[in-house]
């Protein structure tokens, strides 16, 4: 038998038992299948070991490339009919096979904490000593995190402890719904508290997510209201500017009409002056004088109409402007109440840890443990809890406590510096004279 060769195999005839992983994630299998279909096959061969004789139709056993194998099977369900390129390599024993799988998976940096937990247990069960297991599961370390350092003994113990969890909890660690630090906090509790505490932690986290979502909705409404208000004000200002321009234009026309009117009055007066010898003039000359007088009167009536129209235009434009700047019985638009969480999302503290899709964190577990009557130690307050505590103090019936709460709240929001807060607090406690504050 050739020790190592590349062959094309039917993926259905390759047994996928013996994976060091805890389980394959469905979304990664789907993504791998899509990639295989797009590329027309697997780009990097898997590793297999040839069975001495076929077992249940299997001719080879998969030793590395479990996601590629699962992805190809998924792709072939749609009729792709693709073969699987494989390197036939006979591992020395199960321990060697496990080492190779862990090495490949860690090179790809795609092992979940549960994958590591399963691999660590398998290696120890095969008789590999702890020091060697720690080297196999090495991770970046050193001062700058650029060199590989053996897994710490305490971290190895933590990972091994994950295998003791019931399957439901192991599944959540594997897919990221329960973070490593949170799982460690959970493991420190009595076994009968694991599931109730985790259930409580998940409920608390979901409640926090819902609260954040409501705050985001309030913020969005406030921002929308402000945007609408700004748009209305801009539209109103545009109308005011247009009305003002109309007044200016109408006033200019009125001034011109009055000048024309004055000229027409002068012309009529001149035309209306009858010469002393009017009756001595010929009929044609008398008719010409009467014609000029009639024409001047007609021109004056036109000038009067022009002035009247200009006056109406000025009055109309002024009414329009008054309607915009001095509305009748206008109700003052109530200012939108700004919710406590209207700061930009980037400024809100504690929300990053509650981002949708993020797993339950260690603080979630600690707080839930306290709620369930068991604790893994003190639970630090979140920024939101701290702010709420200071607000409660600022409403105390004791004047000094109230003053202290207000100062601490201002320091938390950045309204005063820590130095100023210290000075004001020292005056309240009597350790500094008021005049020296």
Both structure tokens of 117:
């937990």
| Amino acid 156: pLDDT | 92
Q: What angle do CA 241, 242, 245 make, to 5 degrees?
A: 85
Residues 408-437 have a mean pLDDT of: 83
56: left (phi over 0), alpha (psi -120 to 50) or beta: left
- DSSP type of residue 379: -
CA-CA distance, 434 to 437, in Å (whole number)?
A: 5
Say which residue, 225 or 354, is predicted with more confidence: 225
pLDDT confidence tier of residue 379, bands split at 50, 70 and 90: low
φ and ψ of 233, to 5 deg: -65, -40
The yes-or-no verdict on residue 221 having pLDDT over 70 is: yes
Q: How many other CB atoms are there within 10 angstroms of residue 188's CB atom?
A: 16
Of 180, 176, 329, 323, nearest to 243 by C-alpha is 323
Q: How many other CB atoms are there within 10 angstroms of residue 118's CB atom?
A: 25
| Amino acid 110: pLDDT | 66
What length is written for the chain? 437
Express each pLDDT in 305-361 by its tens digit. 988 998 898 888 888 888 888 766 545 555 444 444 444 443 444 554 455 556 788
Give Cα 17 to chain centroid, integer Å: 42
Cα Rg of the chain, angstroms: 44
| Amino acid 351: pLDDT | 54
| Amino acid 418: pLDDT | 85
- DSSP type of residue 377: S
Express each pLDDT in 170-209 by its tens digit. 999 988 889 999 999 999 999 999 999 999 999 988 888 8
Indicate the burial class of 407 (C-beta count within 10 angstroms; 0-12, 13-18, 19 or more): buried
Alpha-carbon distances of 124 from 113, 120, 157, 194, rounded to whole Å:
17, 6, 12, 26
Of 8, 2, 16, 10, nearest to 90 by C-alpha is 2
Sheet holding 84-89, edge to edge: 4-9, 84-89, 46-55, 58-64, 14-15
Give Cα 153 to chain centroid, integer Å: 38
| Amino acid 105: pLDDT | 61
Residue percentage of the chain with pLDDT more than 70: 82
């Amino acid at each position: 038998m050739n020790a190592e060769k590349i062959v094309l195999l039917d993926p259905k005839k390759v047994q996928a038992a013996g994976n060091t992983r805890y389980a394959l994630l469905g979304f990664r299998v789907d993504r791998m299948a899509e990639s295989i279909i797009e590329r027309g096959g697997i780009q990097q061969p898997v590793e297999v070991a040839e069975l001495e004789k076929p077992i249940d139709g299997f001719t080879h056993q998969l030793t590395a490339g479990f996601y590629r194998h699962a992805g190809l099977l998924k792709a072939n369900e749609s009729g792709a009919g693709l073969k699987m390129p494989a390197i036939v390599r006979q591992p020395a024993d199960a321990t060697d096979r496990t080492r190779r799988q862990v090495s490949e998976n860690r090179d790809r940096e795609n092992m979940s904490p549960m994958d590591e937990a399963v691999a660590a247990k398998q290696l120890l069960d095969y008789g590999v000593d702890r020091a060697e297991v720690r080297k196999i599961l090495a991770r970046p370390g050193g001062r700058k995190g650029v060199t590989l350092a053996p897994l710490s003994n305490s971290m190895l113990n933590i990972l091994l402890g994950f295998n003791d969890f019931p399957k439901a909890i192991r599944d959540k660690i594997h897919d990221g719904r329960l973070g490593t630090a949170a799982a460690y906090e959970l493991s420190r509790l009595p076994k009968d508290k694991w599931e109730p505490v985790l259930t409580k932690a998940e409920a608390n986290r979901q409640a926090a997510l819902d609260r954040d979502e409501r705050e985001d909705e309030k913020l969005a409404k406030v921002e929308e209201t402000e945007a609408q208000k700004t748009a209305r004000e801009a539209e109103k200002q545009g109308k005011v500017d247009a009305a003002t321009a109309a007044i200016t234009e109408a006033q200019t026309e009125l001034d011109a009409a009055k000048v024309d009117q004055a000229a027409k009055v002068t012309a009529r007066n001149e035309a209306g002056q009858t010469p002393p010898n009017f009756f001595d003039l010929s009929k044609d000359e008398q008719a010409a004088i009467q014609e000029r007088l009639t024409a001047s009167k007609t021109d004056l009536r036109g000038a009067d109409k022009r002035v009247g129209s200009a006056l109406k235009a000025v009055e109309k434009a002024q009414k329009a402007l008054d309607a915009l700047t001095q509305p009748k019985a206008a109700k003052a638009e109530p200012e939108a109440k700004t919710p406590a969480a209207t700061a930009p999302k980037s400024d809100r503290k504690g929300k990053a840890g509650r981002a949708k899709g993020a797993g339950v964190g260690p603080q979630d577990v600690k707080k839930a443990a306290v709620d369930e009557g068991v604790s893994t130690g003190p639970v630090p307050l979140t920024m939101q809890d701290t702010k709420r505590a200071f607000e409660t103090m600022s409403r105390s019936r004791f004047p000094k406590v109230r003053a202290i709460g207000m100062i601490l709240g201002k320091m938390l929001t950045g309204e005063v510096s820590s130095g100023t807060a210290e000075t004001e607090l020292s005056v309240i406690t009597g350790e500094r004279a008021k005049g020296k504050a």
